Structure 1
Amino acid sequence: MIDLMKNEWIKAWYGRKVWVFLIVLAACTILGTVVGVMMKNYADAYIDLLFFETVFPIFAGFVSLYAVILVSGALAKEFSSGTIKQLFIRPVSRTRILLSKWISIMLLSFLLLLGAGFVLFLVEMLFFTENTTWMIGFKTMWSMVLHHTPTLLFYIALATLIGVWMRSTALTIVVAFIPMFFKGILMVLLMQYDWSKWIVFMHFELYNSYEKPVDLIFSSDLFDSVWHSAAYIGAHILILLLISHLIFKKRDVL
């Protein structure tokens, strides 16, 4: 399992250009910092942690998008190109192959999310914070990372299912991107109904729904606690992975 995961990380770094994504994140961080400093100087005031809480969700979205691309490369692209045969001829079960791919991408995506959060936290504390202590800023950063993690894992699981089912890189990316771009509209339209809390997309804004429910319109009445919502997302993730596993075991390589 460890060797398979190392293999996936090497593929991700060289074949799926993780280093390019890191350069893009770095450029976006520099650009966001410059714009934020200009706005701060122009307004001559800045609310503590406002920069981080505004920019981090955008970066979390970037990481989710890239995680879907990683999954499409690890599954759909390998099916379409036939390179997955090199894994199937090994004396390793398909269950371990699929699990190694999912865990590798999950860990890599989480590290990217955590790394982006930590860099933005440093930028916040160095350039924009006046009254907030480093400990409070770190707790806010860690809280937002954890609140965005279930949503990130859901997108990875969804892309995994689409990848092993359709075996098309383009379809995997497009279908997985649909809930990312339209969930906000659905949340606004459906939040007025009591039954909307049973739609998993309604739980994707965990931080805004439970930590700061008065700030955004996404503060609909969901479950009693953030743990219940996280568990609900987790149940959907397990279902998606189970279906993916069943399809992957029966999938013909040809």
Structure 2
Amino acid sequence: MFSLVMNERKKLNRQKGPLVMRILLLLLILGTALIGKYDADKKGDMNDWKTVANQKIKENQKLLADEKLPASLKYDIQKEIDMNNYRLEKNLAPSRLWSFVNITSFAVDIITIFAIILAAGSIANEFSWGTIKLLMIRPVSRSKILLSKYLSTFTFVLELLFLLFAASFIIGGLFFGFDHITSNYLTYSEGKVIEVNPVIYIFKSYGLNCISLLIMTTFAFLISTLFRSSAISIGISIFFVLMGTTITNLLIKYDWGKYILFANTNLSQYINGSPIKEGMSLNFSLTVLAVYYLVFLLLTWVPFNKRDIAG
């Protein structure tokens, strides 16, 4: 199995796509750092964090006085007020390095799209290029062939995740300095400010986002196997990634809305202590996602093993 996975990685690395993805990821991190540095220099708040915190508290208190604000927005405003007050009381200067690394974690969503593109073409391209029959004549079961392609996609995803963290840390340090690198990161849950280790928090954030990545990549793999078209697989998968939030917002008002796939993929809602629907919990969402994952795997492996490749 190891040799099969390595062979698939060699085939993957010979393509231009993976190299372009690495470059785009680095450019995205660098662009985020440039924008952040420019914005901070423009405001002149790189050093006087206490003045900035007091100013934001006053601004948010004025906003909070508006009774027309939705509850979700009031929660976010109160969260920022409480966290700034906590920093001032504890004299806990924010680490701009860890803040930057946390901000760039949004790129996990970009990596998800990259993974979908790779997964969508993994099987579909074999049909398009006519090389699927060459794979089938090898003395290896169809399940192993499919699994090797599946695993090779995720080895590349892990490489991109490592690149994201390492590049964010290095670029963030170069732009914002390594000051307060040992400071704890602040989180907010149930109206309380909590100090956590920044590395643990960021890895936890990565991990929760990666569960969504795993589900959507497996879904793309499923569509690729069923339709034999990378274009259809990429189109359908990215459509659901982009429209998932909209679909959830439309249907979450119903009791069964909490069982929708996209109501559970945003696991970071549990870090922030504000689940999208009352009664949902991290264990609930993980259970729902596990069921979807198993269904996607079954719908991928069973048809592929039974399909007439010659047809």
- Matches of 1:106 and 1:229 in 2, distance apart? 22
Is the 8 Å Cα contact of residues 26 and 167 (structure 2) preserved in structure 1?
A: no
Aligned pairs (5 A) from 1:146-225:
146-207=207-268, 209-214=269-274, 219-221=276-278, 223-224=280-281
Q: Distance in 2 between matches of 1:4 and 1:164?
A: 19
Indicate the larger mover: 84-93 or 193-202.
Answer: 193-202
The answer as to whether partners of 1:110 and 1:149 remain within 8 angstroms in 2 is: no
Equivalence for 1:236:
292
Alignment of 1:1-254 (within 5 A): 1-15=1-15, 17-45=17-45, 48=95, 49-57=98-106, 59-125=107-173, 127-128=175-176, 131=180, 133=182, 136-207=197-268, 209-214=269-274, 219-221=276-278, 223-224=280-281, 226-254=282-310
Q: What one-letter code is carried by the residue in structure 2 that aligns with 1:5?
A: V
Q: 1:104 Cα shift?
A: 1.5
Q: Does structure 2 retain, via aligned residues, the 8 Å contact 1:121–1:141?
A: no
Deviations 1:32-68 (A, max 9, x none): 11111011111233664443333322x1121111111
- Percent sequence identity is 28
Compared CA separation, residues 203 and 121, structure 1 to 2 (3 A) = farther
Aligned partners of 1:134 and 1:155: how far apart in 2? 35
Measure how far apart 1:222 and its partner are.
5.4
Shift of 1:177: 0.8
Deviations 1:123-157 (A, max 9, x none): 44554475452773322221111011111111111
Deviations 1:145-203 (A, max 9, x none): 10111111111110111011000111011011111110121233333333221111111
Give the AA of the match of 1:70. L
Q: CA RMSD in A?
A: 2.2
Deviations 1:6-54 (A, max 9, x none): 1111111112531221111111111111111011111233664443333
Task: Kindly provide the amino acid, as one letter, of the partner of residue 142 in structure 1.
Answer: F
Higher Rg of the two aligned structures? 2
* TM-score between the two structures when normalised by the length of structure 1: 0.88
Gaps of 5+ in 1: none
Q: Distance in 2 between matches of 1:192 and 1:40?
A: 40
CA distance in 1, matches of 2:276, 2:179: 28
Q: TM-score, normalised by structure 2?
A: 0.73
Q: Secondary structure at the match of 1:253?
A: coil
Give, as a single letter, the amino acid of the residue that structure 1 aligns with 2:270. Y
| 2:123 maps to amino acid | L
Give the letter aligned to residue 153 of structure 2.
Answer: I
- 1:99-136 C-alpha deviation (Å, 9 max, x unpaired): 11111212221331232133224444554475452773
